[in-house]
Structure 1
Amino acid sequence: MDDKLHLPCPHCGATNRLPAARLAEAPNCGRCGQLLLDGRPVELGDADFDAVVGAYPLPVLVDFWAPWCGPCRAMAPAFEQAGRTLQGQTLLVKVNSDDNPQLASRFGIRSIPTLVRLEHGRETRRQSGALPAQAIVQLARAAG
């Protein structure tokens, strides 16, 4: 059995082959040298979302938001805090729904903020409305 994961770098897009056992060791990208799972949310859009999220072997939690949205801005620090807690377990992604209408439409985003949990590119959970950090962590860890 091959225990190697193919992790796309959220910073440069390079695919990194990594033993699953090393996920907890804060691995760096072989091309750009940045942490593959640094705990900070990664901003993605229509152009790069599928390349990063579709192939990601760990759960992904996507925050659909917009800069004009008060609850979205209020939840942003909690989302970042949850990312630090979930480092190495879940990739947190932010998608500006105004700038990326194709993704917002594809996921049927009707209100923001909306969090969508994905496993292997497939939606497993969804929650609309601003949440505190602990609730975001619980959503990310919820089994599909």
Structure 2
Amino acid sequence: MTLPDDLISTLSEAVEADDADAIRHTILTSKLNGHDLGEWLTMASHLGNMDAMKALLEHDADVHWKNQDGETAFSFACAYNQFDAARLLHEHGADINSVDSSGGTPLDWAVCHARPEFRAWLMDIGGTRNSDHEEWPWPPKTDGCGT
């Protein structure tokens, strides 16, 4: 469904502000469905905005929604070191081994961008890797994952 620009803006601002009440109000007045909410769940997970994530999940936000690059809310949580967000998504059935358009998995992103204990948790719950990047020391020295 194509959403009106003002609705996109309102929901985006509420997610960025981690304003669960505004998110709930917007969802209820706009009659958005779970698939429509996947994009904002991804945004909230990237930011680590837990109240926003919980409000979106209360309204059945699609934890399996993928953007045009095949990235999910779970993969964004891993790429941006948002451990609590990743655990919440896992509790709601997120695919911990989804593959994006570049062939990467959430654990592939985590080896470059997440704390060692986050990486260990991903491996403990069955996370797999498709890349052969070496794990980076924490904290990472640069923004990109090296070869």
User: TM (normalized to structure 2)?
Assistant: 0.33
* TM-score (structure 1 length as normaliser): 0.33
Which of structures 1 and 2 has the bigger CA Rg?
2
The one of the two structures with greater contact order (alpha-carbon pairs below 8 A, sep at least 6) is: 1
Q: Which is helix-richer, 1 or 2? A: 2
Higher strand share: 1
